[in-house]
């Protein structure tokens, strides 16, 4: 049986090109695509793929929250993060939330295929230019935090609000986009700040960009 794949990226052209390239591999089969985190969750539940190739920075719901939801909804599905962001904080965040592997979008196609096969078999895979970043980041994180695995969890709605805040939307605009009152938006913002220990909108924006909770490039 081929390894069943779900491609999740907000760039349609990239998904199409990748799907065509992967179709040439006898043991790989692309069974679906998604352009954002919310759509990805729907497709994961309906398709139950073996591996999800997941971008980090996406609209509606970023990769950091999406990977955690996927692991909760369909535990047997493995997640391979594929992103241009290879800083230690992003890599560690995705791995802690449940990603089995992480590769740079700039990696060679052969490395991506190798990663897919490894992740499908339940083995962790880090790209050649990601492994050292992860090791250094983990060491630094342990020095700062005794228990680095206890990262704050945001709800899907909180993730959506945070993303729109990071994109520069005002409370009224966020309310219109998410069909909620301004007061509810401000309540979500206060709760997010409390969970993350952040006291300013600028701090929220910086956090969102680092963790891929924004569609901005």
- 88: its two tokens: 């230690």
- Helix (DSSP H) and strand (DSSP E) numbers for the chain: 10, 6
> What count of residues does the chain have?
217
Q: Are 167 and 215 contacting, i.e. CB atoms less than 8 angstroms apart?
A: yes
Q: What are the pLDDT digits (tens) for 148-191?
A: 344 567 777 888 888 888 888 899 999 998 889 999 999 999 99
- Map out the domains of the chain with their CATH numbers: 3-144 (3.40.50.2300), 156-210 (1.10.10.10)
State the DSSP H helix or E strand holding residue 54, giving kind and residue range, or none if neither. Answer: strand 51-54
Say how far apart CA 74 and CA 4 lie, in whole Å: 14
pLDDT recorded at residue 131: 66
Alpha carbons within 13 A on the beta-carbon side of 43: 24
pLDDT recorded at residue 171: 92
Per-residue pLDDT 10s for the chain (217 aa) are 999 999 999 999 999 999 999 999 999 999 999 999 989 999 999 999 999 999 988 877 888 889 988 998 999 999 999 998 888 878 888 888 899 999 999 999 999 999 999 999 999 999 987 866 655 544 444 434 444 344 567 777 888 888 888 888 899 999 998 889 999 999 999 999 988 888 888 888 888 776 666 554 4
pLDDT recorded at residue 18: 96
For 120-141, b/e burial (b = at least 16 CB within 10 A) is beeeebbbeebeebbeebbeee
Predicted TM-score (pTM) above 0.85: no
DSSP string of 114-146, one letter each residue: HHHHHHHTT--EE-TTTHHHHHHHHHHHHHH-S
């Amino acid at each position: 049986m081929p390894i069943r794949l779900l491609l999740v990226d907000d760039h349609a052209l990239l998904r199409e090109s990748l799907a065509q390239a992967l179709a040439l591999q006898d043991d790989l089969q692309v069974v679906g695509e998604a352009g954002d985190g919310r759509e990805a969750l729907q497709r994961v539940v309906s398709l139950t793929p073996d591996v999800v190739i997941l971008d980090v920075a996406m609209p509606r719901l970023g990769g950091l929250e999406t990977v955690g939801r996927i692991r909760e909804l369909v535990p047997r599905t493995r997640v391979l993060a594929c992103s241009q962001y290879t800083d230690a904080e992003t890599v560690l965040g995705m791995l802690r939330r449940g990603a089995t592997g992480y590769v740079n979008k700039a990696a060679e196609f052969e490395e991506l295929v190798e990663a897919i096969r490894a992740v499908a078999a339940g083995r962790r895979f880090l790209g050649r230019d990601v492994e050292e970043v992860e090791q250094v980041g983990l060491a630094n994180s342990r020095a700062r935090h005794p228990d680095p695995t206890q990262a704050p969890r945001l709800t899907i709605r909180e993730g959506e609000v945070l993303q729109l805040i990071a994109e520069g939307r005002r409370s009224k605009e966020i309310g219109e986009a998410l069909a909620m009152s301004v007061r509810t938006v401000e309540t979500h913002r206060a709760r997010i700040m409390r969970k993350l220990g952040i006291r300013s909108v600028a701090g929220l924006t910086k956090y969102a960009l680092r963790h891929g909770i924004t569609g901005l490039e």
